[in-house]
Structure 1
Amino acid sequence: MAEAQLCRLQDEFTCSVCLDTLTDPVTILCGHSFCLKCLTDYWDQSQECSCPQCRHTFTTRPELNRNTLLNEVIKKLKKTTLSPPPPQNYASPGYVECDFCTGKKFRAVKSCLTCMASYCQTHLQPHYEGDALKHHKLVDPDRNLKEKLCEKHQKSLEIFCKTDDSCICMMCVVTGHKNHEMVELETEREEKQKQLGATLSDIKRRLEEREKTLKETRRTMEEMKVSGLGRQHLISKRG
């Protein structure tokens, strides 16, 4: 009974960096646990020491000690039915990869226009749990996030300048577009979609009118042809 309950909690014993079962687990002050090697490598490659899951930042690099109790629990789980995440969640060709997975990448479920990064289900959790991230703008996975960055300031494009007919970031608003007519990018996108819809409807109407005119012309020509053949037959008969 106890083993079955532990098996149902196997996700709790998955490292959010490598997305595999914790190996030599260490627990940091914010309460999250990782593989010793994963966390060490993560910090070695980062400019600051922060939790990969909740982004809590440490002023000094904490000393890492293996969580003995957690390690024993994981060993017990491995003797039961603990298995790695299902392979169908890995990013196959054509899918957007998670930017924070190490090794084999998992499929991204959302892209963040604020962070300009894509996340799998596990790495996305801080956006739902942390106050600092929950107001970020999440969209369906997008492989072209770099195209949504301002080339000059490397900030997300959020504003449309009607004066210059261009998409700009908030830094552009301050530095080069003073007194210009501007709207939110989403507002402009909706307006453009309405205009496009109206244009397509007008084109469709014109095509239908031309098709109708063409059919009438063909019918008239057929009638004239039949009428001409009738007159020709009548003339030949009289002759």
Structure 2
Amino acid sequence: MMAEAQLCGLQDEFTCSVCLDTLTDPVSIPCGHNFCLKCLSNCWDQSQECSCPQCRHTFTTRPGLKRNNLLNEVIKKLKKMTLSPSFPPTPPPQNYAGPGDVECDFCTGKKFRAVKSCLTCPASYCQTHLQPHYEGDALKHHKLVDPDRNLKEKLCEKHQKSLEIFCKTDDSCICLICVVTGHKNHEMVELETEREEKQKQLGATLSDIKRGLEEREKTLKETRRVMEEMKVSGIERQHLISKRGEI
């Protein structure tokens, strides 16, 4: 039973993160991740750059892809075991992306709905493709946010890095590369700190506006009351004058 439990825990290690099935003709790339030969070849053939579909590491030259014979033999032996004949992964329940949903950038074919977007990668992930961000040491420090279809707006136009710093001197959001290349000796704070400060200022401004509106409403009501009293007083005077005329 212990051996079976250990093998169950290894299923994800032999699953292709592109097709989400057991590796077929497994190939290993320099960053250490494994994929089906066909899946990885298709990904790179359709892209202008060669990057790892799992950790997004980019290679300057396309690595040669050769089947990992040792890994292939291990998978064959595991498939023969009665533990799991087809050895399928068991991804958590998730929904296909519908109108208004953010799609997973790594699903092939019909895409699942993204549950998180990563500002560091930057990309959006369904529950299955998000797992490496929780399990891998290289990705667990990435900044995850709620699904966002406008990730490009949160990237530095010059360096294509996430905007993490606010430059008070230039009143602009910048990336970490901008900090050392064009904003030396400027007054800077973390973007989150500036956002919290702006929210406080906005809250104070809204409170002032609300108080001002309440004061204006109070003044308007008082003006209407006085005008109504003057109107009644004028009617009463006219009525009194009329009576005196009759006498």
Q: TM-score, normalised by structure 2?
A: 0.72
CA–CA distance in 2 between the matches of 1:173 and 1:27?
Answer: 37
Give the distance between the partners of 1:88 and 1:95, measured in 2 at CA: 13
SS at match of 2:72: helix
The answer to which of 54-63 and 129-138 deviates more is: 54-63
- Gaps in structure 2 of 5+ consecutive residues: 86-90
Q: Is the 8 A contact 2:94 2:127 kept in 1?
A: no
Counterparts of 2:168 and 2:36 in 1: how far apart (Å)?
Answer: 51
**Between 178-187 and 15-24, the greater mean CA deviation after superposition:** 15-24
Residues in 2 aligned to 1:195 and 1:41: alpha-carbon distance in whole angstroms:
51
Name the structure 1 match of 2:233.
227
Deviation at 1:171, TM superposition (A): 1.3
CA deviation digits over 1:48-74, x for unaligned, max 9?
887644679999999989999999999
Q: Single out whichever of 60-69 and 84-93 deviates more from structure 2.
A: 60-69
Task: Tell me which moved more, 187-196 or 73-82.
Answer: 73-82
Q: 2: CA distance between counterparts of 1:202 and 1:81?
A: 71
CA distance in 2, matches of 1:8, 1:165: 50
- Whether the 8 Å CA contact 1:7–1:80 is kept in 2: the answer is no
Is the 1:3–1:77 Cα contact (8 Å) retained in structure 2?
Answer: no
SS of residue in 1 equivalent to 2:5: helix
Paired residues of 1:161 and 1:167 also in contact (CA < 8 A): yes
CA apart distance, 1:121 = 0.7
Alpha-carbon offset, residue 37 of structure 1: 3.2
The verdict on how the C-alpha distance between 1:220 and 1:55 changes in structure 2, with shifts beyond 3 A counting, is: closer
**Any conservation in 2 of the 1:7–1:77 contact (CA below 8 Å)?**
no
Cα distance change on mapping 1:233 and 1:80 into 2, 3 Å: farther
| CA distance, structure 2, for counterparts of residue 135 and residue 8 of structure 1 | 23
Higher deviation after alignment, 28-37 or 181-190: 28-37
Counterpart Cα distance in 2 of 1:89 and 1:79: 32
**Could you say what secondary structure the match of 1:180 adopts?**
coil
Structure 1: 5+ residue stretches without partners: none
Q: Aligned-pair RMSD on alpha carbons? A: 5.0
Q: From the superposition, tell whether residues 2 and 173 of structure 1 become closer, same or farther in structure 2 (CA, over 3 Å).
A: closer
Aligned pair in 2 of structure 1 residues 212, 7: CA closer, same or farther (>3 Å)? same
Shift of 1:97: 1.0
C-alpha deviations, 1:57-102, integer Å up to 9, x for none? 9999999899999999999999999999899711111111111112
In structure 2, what is the equivalent of residue 26 of structure 1?
27
What percentage of residue pairs aligned between the two structures are identical? Answer: 92
Task: Report the more deviating stretch, 190-199 or 93-102.
Answer: 93-102
CA distance in structure 1 between the aligned counterparts of 2:83 and 2:190, rounded to whole angstroms: 49
Q: Is the 1:7–1:81 Cα contact (8 Å) retained in structure 2?
A: no
TM-aligned CA distance change 1:131 to 1:8, over 3 Å: closer
Report the alpha carbon displacement of residue 149 of structure 1 after superposing the two structures with TM. 1.1
Q: In structure 2, do the counterparts of structure 1 residues 73 and 212 end up closer, same or farther at CA, with 3 Å as the change threshold?
A: farther
Distance 1:231 1:5, change over 3 A: farther
State how far apart, in whole Å, the 2-side matches of 1:153 and 1:195 are. 31
Per-residue deviation, 1:16: 3.1
Cα 1:108–1:81 shift into 2, 3 Å: farther
**Could you tell me whether the CA contact under 8 Å between 2:92 and 2:127 is conserved in 1?**
no
Give, in whole Å, the separation in 2 of the partners of 1:190 and 1:25. 48
SS at match of 1:173: helix
